[in-house]
Amino acid sequence: MPRTYRRKLGARQYRNYSEEVLSQAIVDVQNGKLSVRQAAIQYKIPRKTLGNKIAQKHNKKPGGQTVFSVPEEKVILQHILTCADWGMPLDSLDIRLIVKDYLSTLGWTVEQFNDNLPGDMWYKNFLKRNRDELSVRKCQNVKRARAAVGTEQIISYFDHLERSLENVPAQNIINFDETNFLDDPGLKKMVFRRGVKYPERNINSTKGCICVMFTVTAVGEVSPCYVVYKAEHL
């Protein structure tokens, strides 16, 4: 279970300022507009902290440091985005196993991880650090054959259909289709690129379902639905 940090009453406060405010204070001091003391008072930044930043000291983030460096986390992020773009999104366990395999390849043992496998807390913090590019969504399972159909094939199909239906009476144009009611849709939370419109996973899977078939003519006449159950007896 991930830990939830709560600040104790009266505890020392850290970093009650944004990165933009700190950068502006440094620029004002370096340009001679303000002294370090004046900038500390005006921007409400501790004077010692401001002096250390100007002197390029203690540039690490406050608190515990991340296991991986920024470039290494960017590589992990790029792998996650690539898998999601290819229709094979990763879930929490997939990402953690990739990290474990990466550490094993380097021969690197991380004491914070149990058997070099990151925990749920590392996974949640990784998503939080990269929330501008990653989001967790429930995805729909799409078979590979259906996912392989692109925009060009669909446009070409309707172009041929329009020519083949020319001069055909509307009552003779019948559309037949079917839909399935799955007993287990298999929805699962996966990690996707933030802002993706259709979170889908390409996977070949079989589920028990009830098939409902129906026909509609171009003039709006609807035939009774035909229901197929997966059983010899209803």
> Per residue in 33-45, pLDDT tens?
889 899 989 998 8
**Structural domain contains residue 91:** yes
Same domain, 25 and 95: no
Q: Note whether 171 and 220 are within 8 A (CB).
A: no
CA–CA separation, 186 vs 183, rounded Å? 9
Q: Is residue 221 part of a domain?
A: no
Portion of the chain with pLDDT greater than 70, in percent: 88
Q: Do residues 42 and 118 both lie within one domain?
A: no
**Does some domain include residue 212?**
no
- Tell me the mean pLDDT in the region 159-182: 86
Q: Determine the structural domain holding residue 89 and report its residue range.
A: 66-169+185-203
Q: Which of 12-26, 48-62, 134-148, 211-225 has the lowest mean pLDDT?
A: 134-148
Task: Report, as an integer, the average pLDDT of 158-175.
Answer: 87
Separation between Cα atoms, residue 29 and residue 37, nearest integer Å? 9
Quick one: pLDDT band at residue 100, thresholds 50, 70, 90?
very high
Helix (H, G, I), strand (E, B) or coil at 140: strand
pTM equals 0.53
Domain identity same for 30 and 106: no
Same domain, 26 and 77: no
Q: And the tokens for 57?
A: 């000291």
Mean pLDDT, residues 23-32: 90
Q: Given the structure tokens 């929490």, which residue do they identify?
A: 92
Same domain, 74 and 161: yes
What's the CATH number where 27 sits?
1.10.10
For residues 117 and 100, is the Cβ–Cβ distance under 8 A? yes
**Is residue 59 domain-resident?**
no
116 and 146 housed in the same domain:
yes
Q: What is the pLDDT of residues 101-137, one digit of tens each?
A: 999 998 989 888 999 999 999 999 999 999 888 888 8
Instruction: Indicate whether 100 and 198 sit together in one domain.
Output: yes
What's the total number of domains in the chain?
Answer: 2
Is 172 in a helix, a strand, or coil?
Answer: helix
Instruction: Tell me: do 38 and 142 sit in the same domain.
Output: no
User: Residue 108 and residue 103: Cα distance in Å, rounded?
Assistant: 5
Query: Average pLDDT, stretch 11-34?
Result: 84
Provide the H-helix boundaries in the chain.
19-30, 36-43, 47-54, 70-85, 92-106, 120-129, 144-147, 151-164
Pairwise CA distance, residues 24 & 72, whole Å? 29
